[in-house]
Structure formats: C-alpha cells, structure tokens
Amino acid sequence: MAEPLLKVAGLQAWYGESHILHGMDFEVPKGEVVTLLGRNGVGKTTTLRAIMGLTGRRTGSVVFEGRETITLPSDKVGRAGIAYCPEERGIFASLTVAENLVLPPVVRPGGLSMDELKELFPRLWERASSQGTKLSGGEQQMLAIARILRTGAPLLLLDEPTEGLAPVIVQHIGRILHQLKERGFTILLVEQNFHFAASVADRHYVVEHGRVIDCVPNAGADLGRLKSQLGV
C-alpha cells in the first residue's frame, strides 16, 4: 500500500446526544480511490463530515499529510487541502452556475484550470449564467464535483455522487473519477452503488454501526466476500 495521505484512527462523532461513529479506523493511500461501503445509517456520511469538522463533537485522530487535523475548525481543514462534495450537492440557489464554480477558494496550486474543467464538463459552460439549482440532478452533481477540482486540494471527499442519477450520467462520473485518479487526485468515496464503487475503487472499507469491520481490495475473490457482507 502506498503512503497514506489520510489516516483516520479511533474517530468518534456525535450529533447532539446521538453517538454516530464508534471508532472508525482506515487509511486512504495517496493516489488511490477508496470507498466506504455499507447500509444506510451506518455512519458513512458522518465519517466524511467528521473529517471535515462538520459534526458537533468528535474525538480520535484524523491525520492528513502527516498533520493532525482533528482539532482544526472546518475552514482550516478545507485550507489544509481536503475538498468536500456533500451528498445533497450543496449547489447555492442564489448563485449562477459560474459563481458556484468559482466560489471555493484555491487552496494550493495543482487544481484544474478553467479550460480543463470546460473540457471535462462542457455542459456547465453552456449554462454558466443559469441559476445553480435550475440545473438537472446530473448537471448539479457535475457542478459540485467541478468546483472542488479548481481548488488544488489533493484529497477529494465525495459523498454518494451517483445517488439518484441516470445510468448514463453515472458512467460519465465514473470516467471522470478515473481521469482524476490518473491526474494524481486521491479520492475517498461514500457509495451505496456497489457496482459503481467496484468500477472505480482500489479498496473498500465496509462500515457497520459506526465502525470499519473489513477492508477489501478491489480484486478477484475478495469482491465475492464483499458482496456477501453487503448483501448485493
């Protein structure tokens, strides 16, 4: 396994009185696509939010590029180089597509240029002056991914990017993730769609009751074990 870009150890998180994560342990090696798989409500989304500092209380350790980030507020986590694409996409209704696209600040060099984004997401340019939330679901997902690619953050946290999308859009997102991986981005992906996850990931972590219960490489016989764990 390559050197971990992100190392999560004993991560616990709460929403008010609800204890959601009970000690998540996993690593995301540099340049890999890693998925968190599991049923609804096991804590996958909360894990991403806890890494970003968006949950109420959290304990444990989140080390990014060798630096502990568990005590940092979420803006400092973002500035450190972790970009987040939320499950609900987070497109701002009061902003146009173009404004949504350039909203997140560039945190370091190495992000995609506007020309590169235009090549990857041509449809967004045709609708640059439209209100962000007037786009279709697929286009909104493209916009949510595109805007974090500008920032130069080397680690992308993507929360269910294929949820509710047509198969053709899901395939397109899969191709984009492959291209991003080729460009050196590291991706932590939360997915319900096992087949999509299997088509893009290097390894999978299976989550249950707020804990990682297994780590499965995305290859051969191990996938059978993963399928039986997920019941797919």
Binding to another protein in span 122-181, by CB under 8 A = 148, 151
Closest separation in Å from C-beta 78 to another protein:
3
Pairing of strands 211-217, 203-208: antiparallel
Quick note: the x/- pattern for another protein over 40-69, rule CB under 8 A, is ------------xxx---------------
Contact pattern for another protein over residues 24 through 43, marking x by CB under 8 A: --------------------
Return the number of the residue (28 or 206) whose C-beta is nearest another protein: 28
Work out whether 211 is an interface residue with another protein (CB under 8 A): no
Q: Is 104 in the site for another protein (CB under 8 A)?
A: yes
- Comparing CB distances to another protein, the nearer of 10 and 104 is 104
Kindly report each contact of residues 173-178 with a partner whose C-beta sits within 8 Å and lies 24 or more positions away, as own/partner. 173/141, 173/142, 173/145, 174/199, 174/200, 176/120, 176/145, 177/33
- Pairing of the two strands 203-208 and 186-191: unpaired
Can you tell me whether residue 226 is helix, strand or coil? Answer: helix
Query: In 10 A of CB 54, how many CB atoms?
Result: 16
C-alpha to C-alpha distance for 183 and 176, rounded to whole angstroms: 11
Contact between 54 and 13 under an 8 Å Cβ cutoff? The reply is: no
74 binds another protein (CB under 8 A): yes
Residues in contact with another protein by the rule CB under 8 A: 52-54, 73-79, 83-84, 86, 90, 92-95, 99, 102-105, 107, 148, 151
